[in-house]
Amino acid sequence: MPRLSRASTSTGQINPQLSAADERVLKEIVPERGEPIGSASTPQVRALLAGTEESLALFRKAAAMPRCRFPVDWEAGAGALFPHYPQLLVLTRMMAAHAVLAASEGRTREAMDDISAIVGMSRHLAGEPIMIGLLVQYRCLSIAGSSLKRVLETSSPPAEACLRLDRQLSELDMLTPLERAVQSERCLGFWCFDVLASDPAKYRGILGADDPVLQVTTRLGPLRSPLAKMDELFYLRTMARMETRARQRDLASAGERKEADLPVPWYASVSRFVLPAFDSLLRKQHQALARLALARCGLAVAAYRQQIGAFPTSLADVEQTAGRSLPRDPFTGQGLIYHPQGTGCVMYSLGINGRDDEGQNANDRDPRSDRRPAQGQDDIAWSFHPEPGSPG
């Protein structure tokens, strides 16, 4: 990745770094956290992408493969490194910017192919049995959705390109990888228990753990065994609950807590460090599913607009014209909320709270405005407003 890569002096691993100017252009061209589209100019985007052609071509080639395997030393356990994650995130953002640029220059097929490549690469990330890989996948899909919205607002992709991307999105398995990741995380936890029993110093070195309970339990000798067994039992019970929740397929009840999480006991010298932040991951998975549903409905609305010449009054009109059902809100099992809005429309999922917050989300922010949505609002919205003069 010429001009974008910096090798760490300590590990030699590639650590992509962007200049402040490049970061600003990327955030303006493909905003990720609810910010409005910025004022980055076409020459600025071209300058950002200069020298990345070979890297983006390799990205597209890898995304089209049935499988990709990345160079991870899984036998290193908790010491495993994932240098490809920051690289893929940088390339994903660059690919998204390239898609927006291509659409603005009339190369709509190329723009849709770029978004398809991001979706394809996210599928490879889901193949890695680790929770951090799923987090990276969800962010890549969010970037793909943001760039797709920009492409649809500035151009009019061919109907077959929209259908092809919709099919690709519909084939993504967003549920099974989470269950597999929980199982892998459980194995990782057992690895940590084994290392602590055989080499406490190595365990503390890998996790950087300097917990008083850990220091005491590693010095108890034979007395440590009962505490370690209790810790393992707590770990097993907690991970079993996580696996049960990961197997849940009725996402309409995602916001309901079926069982309270077990409090971490004082003796859990391993569990307190290796239990994954499952609730946070589960929320991000459900949000990713909602964004997928919005992207697919956005494609259908764009196709309807091309065919009819205007935005629909409801998503039922789109379904009738398309002759198929549209994705539902994963949080409610009902249709997404849709409202015509000026010369465009807004669609949104009700989010985890299941409440209509009028498309507002407390995490969305405009750095140039003091206005903030109210705390607790968590709708996930897709605001679709074609630029003046765009085809459609």
Model pLDDT for residues 330-357, shown as the tens digit of each residue: 989 999 999 998 889 999 999 988 898 8
Q: Is residue 284 part of a domain?
A: no
What is the spatial distance between Cα 170 and Cα 163, in angstroms, rounded to a whole number?
10
Residues 304 and 362 in one domain: yes
Residues 258 and 348 in one domain: no
Given 172, 202, 232, which residue is the final one in a domain?
172
Q: Is residue 60 part of a domain?
A: yes
3-state class of 369 per DSSP? coil
Range in 130-134, 141-145, 358-362 with the lowest mean pLDDT:
358-362
Residues 145 and 220 in one domain: no
Residues 262 and 314 in one domain: no
What is the spatial distance between Cα 376 and Cα 362, in angstroms, rounded to a whole number?
6
Percentage of residues in the chain with pLDDT exceeding 70? 81
Structural domains in the chain (count)? 3
**Cα-based distances in Å from 188 to 42, 81, 280:** 47, 14, 19
Q: Is residue 267 part of a domain?
A: yes
Residues 118 and 58 in one domain: yes
User: Encoding tokens for residue 365?
Assistant: 């922010």
Q: Is residue 154 part of a domain?
A: yes
Residues 147 and 2 in one domain: yes
Q: Is residue 177 part of a domain?
A: no
Residues 208 and 122 in one domain: no
pLDDT beyond 80 at 207: no
pLDDT, mean over the chain: 84
Residues 269 and 304 in one domain: no
Mean pLDDT (whole number) for 139-165: 93
Q: What pTM does this model have?
A: 0.88
| C-alpha closest to that of 215 among 225, 206, 203 | 203
Q: Is residue 260 part of a domain?
A: yes
pLDDT beyond 50 at 38: yes
Residues 228 and 166 in one domain: no
pLDDT beyond 80 at 131: yes
* Residue 257: band (very low, low, confident or very high) from pLDDT cuts 50, 70, 90: very low
Given 117, 142, 172, which residue is the final one in a domain?
172
What is the spatial distance between Cα 82 and Cα 354, in angstroms, rounded to a whole number?
36
Q: The domain containing residue 391 runs over which residues? A: 294-392
Q: Is residue 66 part of a domain?
A: yes
pLDDT digits (tens, 9 = 90+) for 65-79: 999 888 898 888 878
pLDDT digits (tens, 9 = 90+) for 82-96: 988 988 999 999 999
Q: Is residue 181 part of a domain?
A: no
pLDDT beyond 70 at 264: yes
Residues 25 and 149 in one domain: yes
Given 213, 246, 276, which residue is the final one in a domain?
276
Residues 163 and 261 in one domain: no
Residues 15 and 111 in one domain: yes
Range in 107-111, 311-315, 380-384 with the lowest mean pLDDT:
380-384
User: How many Å from the N-terminal Cα to the C-terminal Cα in the chain?
Assistant: 36
Task: Give me the half-sphere count of Cα atoms (radius 13 Å) on the Cβ side of residue 50.
Answer: 8
pLDDT beyond 50 at 367: no
Q: Are 188 and 274 in contact (CB under 8 A)?
A: yes
